[in-house]
Structure 1
Amino acid sequence: MGEEINRWTAAGRKAAAVGKIAFRHQLAYKTDFAMRCFFLLFILFVFIQLWSTAYGGNFETVISGFTLKQIVWYLVFTEALTLAAPPLCARIEEEVKNGDVAIRLIRPQSYVGYHFSVFASEALTRFLVHLLVGSAITWPFVGPPAFGYGWFGLLALSAGALTITFLLLAIVGLCAFWVEETSGLYFVLQKLQFTIGGMLLPIDLMPEWLQRVCAWLPFQAALYFPARMAVHYDAALLAKHLAVQAAWIAVLAFAVGRIYRRGATKLHVNGG
């Protein structure tokens, strides 16, 4: 038992060290940060104009359970979560192509664990920054996000949401062991997140048959769950969403492990 605790403690220290380095690395690229923030401001401004027109500028109108204020803040949360994800697929693909993956495989921390540590540190930093930037433009247009315990719901579900995003990206990225070029697969994944993941439009506004399809896929757990819980807090539903996220994390983590083990045994380094 003591040996097991020591092993987990050592793994935690390694993950924290990698995360700290990734955080410092992220802060070094201020121009990249500024460009992403500007893009977020532009996108949100366009969405605010579109939804204001759809609602006729009436803050009392309710469409599928959402007021204008709720729908705009919902988009702030989904955009912040979406833009929080670092380019994991491109990193894994590049490591396979140039042979750096061979170096990663012999390091003390597991390959997937290393990338998760980097991803978690960068994603958390990006998420908080984008949340602040998104709030800066949304607040003047629709007012403050007075959603009560919705903030707790957002934070409670965001950790699981970002973990699911990492696992989905890892599955696509690890396909580089076979196909090397994963940009096409990433494009498909990204568009699924944008549509049936609920980034551009809450799933509540979709046709009923499509809502049933979304319920059987992991994409809503990565974006829709935390954003909707933020603007429509429900304690009972929060527990259900957390359970669904945990189930998908277990399934996707198993898939990542299987793909990684099979890919590592068939690895052919093309350089490096």
Structure 2
Amino acid sequence: MNVSVKLRKYRAVSRITVKNQFMYVMDLLVRTLFLLIILYIFIQLWTATYAGAGETVIGGYRFEELIWYLIFSESLVTAMPKLHITVEDEVKTGGIGYLLCRPVSYILYRYAEFAGEFAVRLVVNLLVGGALGLALFGLPGFGWGWLGFVPVAAAAVTLNFMIRMMLALCAFWVEEIQGLVFVYDKLLFTVGGMLLPLELFIEPFRSICRWLPFQTMIYFPVKTAVQFEAGRMLQMLGIQAAWGLVFGLLLSLVYRRGVNKLNVNGG
């Protein structure tokens, strides 16, 4: 079976996932309402912060740039599917054994689902959040940022998938993985740059964050969109590729050991 035929299978999975997402319109609306509430709180917070500081620029960000930053970062985070719940359930119930018998890669199958669901949620989030940003500040001057956001965000969601899949596959060895995912999510919120751009962190904390992989999943794509620089974007993509190689190898190792454990136990 050639590569194009294999890829066609996973594209079909993504298309089906996209169609399924539009069947749950109410779920999308509730999620976007939650997004608007979060953004409203942050807008009030940063309005008071800029007014109290008496500055028009904080950490290299004007007020409107920082709000746009938060619109993108919150849209990314709230668009992430709950992959760990699905995989953990399949491992615990033994359903993963049936999926492994299919003529597709389990990892790529879940990635196609993850990417399709994420794409729909992200587009909806950006439409809603973008409408709020346009109402407050008018059309943003992002230049090539809109275009640069796409490849960096695609790499970011791939890295996010790899880590979430590794955590989910830990269900082969541990009884409960919710705690692991909770810690990971909180790291994304903080050192990943969701709540604050890394420029606003104090030293040496800021330098430490730049050596961690979490910035590649939130800060990189959002920074590219809001303050685009071609050279910096290429550097970000290179860093994402390096981390992708590391996490790809780790995911492959965890997956193989998990499957071997399943086979040894007669799954």
Correspondence 1:165-176 to 2 at 5 A? 165-176=160-171
Segment of structure 1 superposing worse, 249-258 or 190-199: 249-258
Q: Which residue of 2 aligns with 1:79?
A: 74
Contact 1:92/1:173 (CA < 8 Å) preserved in 2? yes
Does residue 92 in structure 1 map to residue 118 in structure 2?
Answer: no
Segment of structure 1 superposing worse, 175-184 or 255-264: 175-184
Q: Which residue of 2 aligns with 1:3?
A: none
Task: Write out the 4+ residue segments of structure 1 that deviate beyond 4 Å after TM superposition.
Answer: 57-60
Aligned length: 266
Displacement of 1:32 in angstroms is 1.1
Distance 2:147 2:16 in 1: 28
Correspondence 1:54-65 to 2 at 5 A? 54-56=49-51, 61-65=56-60
Aligned with 1:45 (options 29, 40, 45): 40
Aligned with 1:225 (options 215, 220, 226): 220
SS in 1 for 2:2: helix
Distance 2:230 2:192 in 1: 22
Q: Which residue of 2 aligns with 1:241?
A: 236
Flag the 1:114–1:124 CA change in 2: closer, same or farther, 3 A.
Answer: same
Does residue 199 in structure 1 map to residue 225 in structure 2?
Answer: no
Q: Which residue of 1 aligns with 2:116?
A: 121
Distance 2:33 2:143 in 1: 29
Distance 1:73 1:30 in 2: 25
Q: Which residue of 1 aligns with 2:61?
A: 66
Q: Which residue of 2 aligns with 1:103?
A: 98
SS in 2 for 1:208: coil
SS in 2 for 1:181: coil
Aligned with 1:159 (options 144, 154, 160): 154
Flag the 1:24–1:180 CA change in 2: closer, same or farther, 3 A.
Answer: farther
Distance 2:195 2:171 in 1: 29
RMSD of Structure 2 on Structure 1 (CA):
1.9
Gaps of 5+ in 1: 1-5
Distance 1:69 1:169 in 2: 32
Q: Taking structure 1 as the reference length, what is the TM-score of the superposition?
A: 0.93
Aligned with 1:132 (options 117, 127, 138): 127
Displacement of 1:115 in angstroms is 0.3
Q: Identity of aligned pairs, percent?
A: 44
The amino acid of 2:261's aligned partner reads: K
Aligned with 2:3 (options 3, 8, 31): 8
Contact 1:59/1:69 (CA < 8 Å) preserved in 2? no
Alpha-carbon displacement from aligned partner over 1:98-137 (angstroms, at most 9, x marks no partner): 2210111111111111100100111111111100011122
Alpha-carbon displacement from aligned partner over 1:46-79 (angstroms, at most 9, x marks no partner): 1111111111199970111000000000011111
SS in 1 for 2:262: coil
The amino acid of 1:54's aligned partner reads: T
SS in 1 for 2:163: helix
Distance 1:160 1:134 in 2: 22
